[in-house]
């Protein structure tokens, strides 16, 4: 499993910690670019992301033994310097099958994605030898305008119409509600981190405590927040 964030899936966690699953963690932007490179026929590329971390230096536990000891650790990444800046070599990702989800599609495989679903699905489609697309609405050729098509049917090998879609929320958090007891240590960390924001920054706050930083942005500072799935312009927590 190559992923950037696996959520709070307890079953996934148990499989990983008991040695039933190999996991390679990679930064989300790097993951997207590895998929894009695979679809474009580019075998590898250099990125400054992750330089100086365990991802670049190696040693991250990819697989555990059943007794909790580490069976496989990640290898160090190759690095180079371009214009006095360090870069990490990342290999492209390709697969035998690409399973993607689109909003609308026609019987020729041309697809239209809804909102942020467009950020990763097209790259996944191009990186797979065989692409299977599921759509909520399936139409005949000619119904979709060429200007609204996000992915050409040349990349899609199979298309099916799904049903009974359930929009699940992993953890529901509502505004203006008491989400728990006050934590002075947490609030102190969050307030200090918020002081690092500079006017005009684009910031991805990640998961957990960092999301609270948006509530403590200093007056007069304008910051554009980005969600984990690439959506720019998020509001304050939650």
Which residues are known catalytic residues?
A: 228
For residue 67, give both structure tokens: 């007794």
Residues facing residue 45 across a β-bridge: 90
CA angle in degrees (0–180, nearest 5) for 122-86-126: 10
Give the whole-angstrom CA distance, residue 222 versus residue 214: 11
Closest by alpha carbon to 104, among 165, 159, 166, 168? Answer: 159
Give the whole-angstrom CA distance, residue 88 versus residue 169: 35
User: Sheet harboring 128-139: ordered strands across?
Assistant: 111-112, 95-106, 128-139, 158-161
> Which residues 6+ apart lie within 8 Å of 113 measured at CB?
102, 103, 121, 122, 150, 151
Residue 130 backbone phi and psi in degrees, to 5 = -125, 120
CB 143 within 8 A of CB 208: no
Neighbours of 205 (CB within 10 A): 19
């Amino acid at each position: 499993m190559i992923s950037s964030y696996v959520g709070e899936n307890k079953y996934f966690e148990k499989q990983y910690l008991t040695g039933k699953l190999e996991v390679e963690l990679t930064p989300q932007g790097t993951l997207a670019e590895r998929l894009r490179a695979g679809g474009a026929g580019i075998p590898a590329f250099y990125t400054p992301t992750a330089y100086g971390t365990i991802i670049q230096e190696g040693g991250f536990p990819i697989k555990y033994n059943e007794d909790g000891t580490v069976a496989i650790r990640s290898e160090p990444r190759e690095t180079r310097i371009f214009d006095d800046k360090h870069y990490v070599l990342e290999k492209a990702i390709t697969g035998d099958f690409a399973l993607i989800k689109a909003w609308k599609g026609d019987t020729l495989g041309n697809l239209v994605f809804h909102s942020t679903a467009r950020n990763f699905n097209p790259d996944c489609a191009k990186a797979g030898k065989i692409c299977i697309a599921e759509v909520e609405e399936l139409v005949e050729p000619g119904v979709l305008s060429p200007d609204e098509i996000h992915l050409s049917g040349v990349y899609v090998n199979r298309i099916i119409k799904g049903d009974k879609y359930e929009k699940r929320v992993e953890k529901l958090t509502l505004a203006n509600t008491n989400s728990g007891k006050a934590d002075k240590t947490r609030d102190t960390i969050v307030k200090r981190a918020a002081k690092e924001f500079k006017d005009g920054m684009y910031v991805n706050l990640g998961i957990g405590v960092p999301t609270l930083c948006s509530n403590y942005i200093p007056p007069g500072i304008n910051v554009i927040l980005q969600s984990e799935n690439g959506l720019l312009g998020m509001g304050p927590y939650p």
